[in-house]
């Protein structure tokens, strides 16, 4: 497995520590990562995304979605089967185990909706950048300094 040193990039960037930590953690855990349940990530528009997970065999009450700051956790917990239910199954080809999938979210990503239909769990996400965080144009000041008297005169 190849290892990357992000130290030179850390020295020349400010505020990207979380990104580098994620890259380093993923590089360490990539070899034995959990691949269940399979999922798709889609970009629907400039600020809209969708996660689709294949959760065949899970009911709505067995799936839990938790959104925290910058983290989305999808967990599935199967109810314990009785001995009679276990003995009735001749072949178990549909995965029946519990799972927990974690998705790191960028800043200002919110969960818009979630739905479970036909064995597919779809989670729609949207980026909501607050007005205070949006880019704004800064006007260059002139040579004249505004005073309170000038402001009152201009308002009248």
Q: With 0-12 CB in 10 A as exposed, 13-18 as middle and 19+ as buried, what is 37?
A: buried
**What's the pLDDT score for residue 102?**
92
Is the domain of 43 the same as that of 83?
yes
Instruction: Give the whole-angstrom CA distance, residue 20 versus residue 24.
Output: 6
What CATH number does residue 57 fall under? 2.60.40.790
Domain interval for residue 24: 1-33
β pairing state of 71-76 and 120-127: unpaired
Q: Is the overall model pTM greater than 0.75, yes or no?
A: no
Predicted confidence (pLDDT) at residue 83 exceeds the cutoff of 80: no
Q: Do 75 and 103 meet the contact criterion of CB atoms below 8 Å apart? A: no
Both 29 and 70 in one domain: the answer is no
pLDDT by residue (tens digit) across 18-43? 777 777 776 665 544 468 899 999 99
Domains contained in the chain, number: 2
- Output the six-digit token pair for 29: 């855990």
22 and 48 inside one domain: no
Higher local confidence (pLDDT), 89 or 43: 43
Are residues 4 and 69 both part of a single domain? no
Does residue 150 form part of some domain? no
Same domain, 102 and 124: yes
Assess whether 44 and 96 both reside in one domain.
yes
Mean pLDDT computed over 121-132: 90
């Amino acid at each position: 497995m190849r290892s990357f040193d992000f130290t030179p990039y850390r020295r020349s960037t400010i505020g990207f520590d979380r990104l580098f930590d994620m890259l380093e953690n993923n590089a360490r855990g990539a070899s034995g990562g959990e691949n269940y349940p399979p999922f798709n990530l889609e970009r629907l528009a400039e600020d809209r995304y969708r996660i689709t997970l294949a959760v065949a065999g899970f009911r709505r009450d067995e799936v839990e979605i938790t959104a925290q700051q910058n983290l989305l956790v999808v967990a599935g917990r199967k109810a314990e089967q009785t001995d009679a239910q276990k003995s009735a199954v001749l072949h178990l080809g549909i995965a029946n185990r519990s799972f927990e999938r974690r998705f790191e979210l960028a800043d200002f990503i919110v969960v818009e909706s979630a739905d479970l239909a036909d064995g597919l769990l779809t989670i729609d996400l949207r980026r909501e950048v607050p007005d205070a965080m949006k880019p704004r144009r800064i006007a260059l000041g002139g040579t004249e300094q505004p005073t309170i008297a000038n402001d009152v005169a201009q308002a009248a």
